């Protein structure tokens, strides 16, 4: 099969592509704009594989998308391209509306145009898989509830509102035009190649540098953490096995308070990186409480029973095993981290693609 993956240079998209190239015979075309969050170095393990190709494209560019469909002729689409950081959505929501809503709309329309012209057997087998977040369901504060696939949407942040909008568009394109779509809503991911603005890599890297470990509010926010490679396996199973029109929640059954996550990282670092920066007695001494994010949801938690029952998917990692792997990965990949943090990588992107933009 030929699989078009959008956002494949990002954290989850790169895990999906590594999973497909390393475990199947399928071809992948990675369509990515390479924003600050996109990093082709996350694909270095598979970039030379003949089944892998890259296209430096903005999903908002309809003409470019049409050309990609004509040239590549995908059998499946896995749509992960998005602006994904809640904090950035609070200070600059425009890019979230642009990519997450307009970009998804452009991709849906380009897909519909292509799909309508396919022969009947290809049309039936085709799937458009939209990858979304559990944040569309809003806050579970004050309840013991879990998010079900039928939980009403109640997004709190510009990020989650833009993802909710894109989910609605995808569902409408299925219902109105018959486009064979599937949606998945996943909890917080963590693991290798995670951009250092997100909680887990930020805490690991700040601790190693002897910098403050910022914790929002009192750190009591609860998230359900899933190891990114478990998510990638789930996504591949969904796109190849799920019925048209389905929605699946994906989660790790790993509810943790943010402050406990930070303590767990500090304990792992005491064991795996005992040579601490000068002046640091214990990594946990670096924990610093900062003003909470506006509109911060207190608790998210996923009921992943449906995907287990229908497709037999369960996570392989516990939070303890996944977090240990993650901390060790950051210790072993200082080059990747240094390139991402120094801006060297963004300079390379600017140079590499200068001629395209001229
Ligand atoms: P990410 O920010 O690491 O990567 C996003 C990728 O999309 C980057 O490579 C970026 O260059 C690309 N991109 C952004 N705008 C684009 C555009 N206009 N055109 C083409 N490419 C563009 O995000 P992630 O954490 O890998 O998340 C991937 C998807 O999964 C997102 O849709 C996100 O909403 C969803 N999700 C993420 C999590 C999580 O914990 N990270 C959890 C659930 C769902």
C-alpha distances out from residue 71 to 4, 39, 58, 109, Å: 11, 24, 16, 17
CA of 80 relative to ligand 1 center, distance in Å: 5
Residue 19's pLDDT band (cuts 50, 70, 90) = very high
Ramachandran angles phi, psi of 128, nearest 5°: -115, 110
186 lines ligand 1 (CB under 6 A): yes
Ligand 1 atom showing the smallest separation from residue 60 Cα: 18
The pLDDT score that the predictor gives to residue 62 is 98
Structural domain boundaries, residue 166: 2-190+228-252+299-316
Ramachandran angles phi, psi of 288, nearest 5°: -135, 125
- pLDDT exceeds 90 at position 8: yes
The pLDDT score that the predictor gives to residue 255 is 92
CATH number for the domain spanning 186: value is 3.40.50.720
344 counts as catalytic: no
Q: Domain total for the chain? A: 1
CA of 216 relative to ligand 1 center, distance in Å: 23
Angle of CA points 3, 9, 10, to nearest 5°: 110
- Domain membership of residue 156 (yes or no) is yes
pLDDT tens-digit map of 304-320: 999 999 999 999 999 99
pLDDT tens-digit map of 166-188: 999 999 999 999 999 999 999 99
Considering only 10-24, 51-65, 215-229, which range has the smallest mean pLDDT? 215-229
Which of 135, 229, 297, 317 is labelled catalytic? 135
The pTM is what? Answer: 0.95
The pLDDT score that the predictor gives to residue 192 is 97
- Domain membership of residue 215 (yes or no) is no
- Domain membership of residue 216 (yes or no) is no
Assess contact for 193 and 11: CB atoms under 8 A.
yes
**Rounded Cα gap, residues 271 and 265, in angstroms:** 10
DSSP string, 174-230: HHHH---EEEEEE-EEESTT--TTSHHHHHHHHHHTT--EEEETTS--EEEEEEHHH
- Domain membership of residue 85 (yes or no) is yes
* DSSP three-state, residue 113: helix
Termini Cα distance of the chain: 34
**Rounded Cα gap, residues 200 and 195, in angstroms:** 10
The pairing of strands 255-257 and 222-227 is antiparallel
Residue 354's pLDDT band (cuts 50, 70, 90) = low
pLDDT tens-digit map of 203-258: 999 999 999 999 999 999 999 999 999 999 999 999 999 999 999 999 988 999 99
- Domain membership of residue 282 (yes or no) is no
- Domain membership of residue 291 (yes or no) is no
* DSSP three-state, residue 89: helix
Which of 52, 159, 190, 330 is labelled catalytic? 159
- Domain membership of residue 214 (yes or no) is no
- Domain membership of residue 221 (yes or no) is no
């Amino acid at each position: 099969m030929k699989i078009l993956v959008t956002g494949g240079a990002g954290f989850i998209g790169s895990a999906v592509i590594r999973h497909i190239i390393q475990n199947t015979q399928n071809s992948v075309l990675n369509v990515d704009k390479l924003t600050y969050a996109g990093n082709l170095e996350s694909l270095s393990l598979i970039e030379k594989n003949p089944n892998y190709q890259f296209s430096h494209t903005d999903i908002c560019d309809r003409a470019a998308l049409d050309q990609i469909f004509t040239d590549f002729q995908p059998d499946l689409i896995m749509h992960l391209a998005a602006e994904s950081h809640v904090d950035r959505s609070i200070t600059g929501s425009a890019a979230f509306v642009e990519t997450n809503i307009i970009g998804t709309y452009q991709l849906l329309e380009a897909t519909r145009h292509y799909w309508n012209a396919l022969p009947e057997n290809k049309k039936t087998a085709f799937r458009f898989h939209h990858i979304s977040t559990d944040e569309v369901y809003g806050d579970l504060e004050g309840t013991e509830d879990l998010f079900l696939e039928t939980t009403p949407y109640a997004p709190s942040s510009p990020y989650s509102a833009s993802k909710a909008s894109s989910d609605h568009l995808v569902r409408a394109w299925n219902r109105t035009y018959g486009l064979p779509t599937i949606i998945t809503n996943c909890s917080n991911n963590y693991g290798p190649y995670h951009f250092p603005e997100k909680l887990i890599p930020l805490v690991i890297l700040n601790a190693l540098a002897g910098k403050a470990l910022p914790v929002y509010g009192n750190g009591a926010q609860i998230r359900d953490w899933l190891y990114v490679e478990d998510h990638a396996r789930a996504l591949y199973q969904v796109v190849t096995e799920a019925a048209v029109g389905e929605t699946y929640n994906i989660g790790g059954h790993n509810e943790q308070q943010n402050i406990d996550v930070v303590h767990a990282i500090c304990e792992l670092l005491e064991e795996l990186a005992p040579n601490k920066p000068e002046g640091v007695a214990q990594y946990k001494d670096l924990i610093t409480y900062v003003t909470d994010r506006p509109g911060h949801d207190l608790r998210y938690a996923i009921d992943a029973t449906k995907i287990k029952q229908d497709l037999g998917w369960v996570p392989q990692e516990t939070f303890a095993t996944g977090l240990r792997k993650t901390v060790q990965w950051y210790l072993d990949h200082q080059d990747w981290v240094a390139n991402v943090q120094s801006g060297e990588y963004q300079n390379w992107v600017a140079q590499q693609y200068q001629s395209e933009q001229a």
